[in-house]
Chains A and B, each alone.
Chain A
């Protein structure tokens, strides 16, 4: 399966301890996807290019790799 690098808008929650958790992804067309669960967080390089902190997320039953790269978010997207 071909993956694409897509930068996305992300709503995050920063709790009192300073931990950052992505909550909501907003697609370019305005569609919003709630992140149901963050499965794993670690530093990682991405197959679509770039590296940063990987947030492996469960979204509507699917697992997607969401990356925090420097100061913005991208997702390894199945759609160009």
Chain B
């Protein structure tokens, strides 16, 4: 088999760098992109190099960040700009191959295996870096390797503007001495477990027997072992490829803490309508309803339940949601954010077994109400029609989940 040439390109501290590109004076001060503290979306999304010196971390609260660096400049996120400029960057990648796979906004794999007319992987990487800097004004780090996992690892090694080539000849020297948490899909929890097994570097992981890992981590142990040894064979998808939808969900960080069942209920109403509406838009329905709850100590968990009949009706999603909520939370600690998602999806016209104990007429009615709501909202806007109960606290429910959220996290698998 011909050796593959895969680039992983990563726009350095993406959101912050785009803001710097738009306003160059921000390069001279410690700056971070963060949400609005007033609406409690107050976490750091990205920071520039000067802010990094103050040990400001992505994901921490604005308050903590300000404590570390009082003169920190906070810029509110402009997602439209981020989508626009990252897409422009990807347009450059797409000039070199038709295999470009996005991984979030700022990262992408570029497969050059069958497009060698522009030069070797390293040469093309240099051209891409130069063009992105000159044409868009952004620096990117690139890893070049023979599989996706090592390419991604390479792009993480030097920031900003790094270029690291990992080959079959040198990966034992470059990759194996690295700490094991640098490997894709080794997070905090996995790292702790590996440490207990005295596995601290990627090399040690690679040289551990695959049986041992499988016993400890199941299927994932085998996957990680393969990653560490460079056996990852997954393909870079074609630019036309559309990820199959596996779940449809919505969540919200409420404007104030959700202190009791009634509060949660009205917020869930808004979310369930949005989820139901998006499911119908995609022509899907799902069996499994899950709720995610995050309390104001930022602890987080999810619970899920499978329904007998797949649904995309807000009333039914709501029933399961409330059941889950009742059985799993007592509000001893107030909730900060909550979410619903529906998974195990099947097409909306997928035949389902009717039940003698379910009133199909009622279901049909509920669905028609949903559809009518959607029609009204499409024409007159989200706030044009509401359930009366959400008006009990219009501040708490005053958000439009369908329109407000844009960016979905993606999974490698």
Interface residues of A (CB under 8 A from B): 42-51, 70
Task: Name the one of B23, B84, B136 contacting A45, with C-beta atoms under 8 angstroms.
Answer: B136
B29 at the interface (CB under 8 A from A): no
Query: Do A51 and B84 touch (CB < 8 A)?
Result: no
Task: Name the one of B21, B133, B134, B135 contacting A50, with C-beta atoms under 8 angstroms.
Answer: B21
Query: Do B135 and A43 touch (CB < 8 A)?
Result: yes
Of all chain B residues, the one with the shortest Cβ separation from A42 is B135
CB distance from B289 to the nearest CB of A (A): 40
Of all chain B residues, the one with the shortest Cβ separation from A70 is B84
B22 at the interface (CB under 8 A from A): yes
B: number of interface residues (CB 8 Å): 13
Say what secondary structure dominates the interface of chain A. Answer: loop
**Chain A-chain B contacts (Cβ-Cβ < 8 Å), number:** 29
CB distance from B103 to the nearest CB of A (A): 23
B22: chain A residues within 8 A (beta carbon) = 49-50
A50 to B138, CA, bound (A): 10
A42: chain B residues within 8 A (beta carbon) = 135
Of all chain A residues, the one with the shortest Cβ separation from B132 is A45
Of all chain A residues, the one with the shortest Cβ separation from B27 is A49
A46 to B136, CA, bound (A): 9
Query: Do A51 and B24 touch (CB < 8 A)?
Result: no
Q: What are 23 A-B contacts with C-beta separation under 8 Å?
A: A42-B135, A43-B135, A43-B136, A45-B134, A45-B135, A45-B136, A45-B137, A45-B138, A47-B24, A48-B24, A49-B21, A49-B22, A49-B24, A50-B21, A50-B22, A50-B137, A51-B21, A51-B85, A51-B88, A51-B135, A51-B136, A51-B137, A70-B84
CB distance from A77 to the nearest CB of B (A): 15
B135: chain A residues within 8 A (beta carbon) = 42-45, 51
A35 to B137, CA, bound (A): 26
A4 to B85, CA, bound (A): 22
CB distance from B276 to the nearest CB of A (A): 35
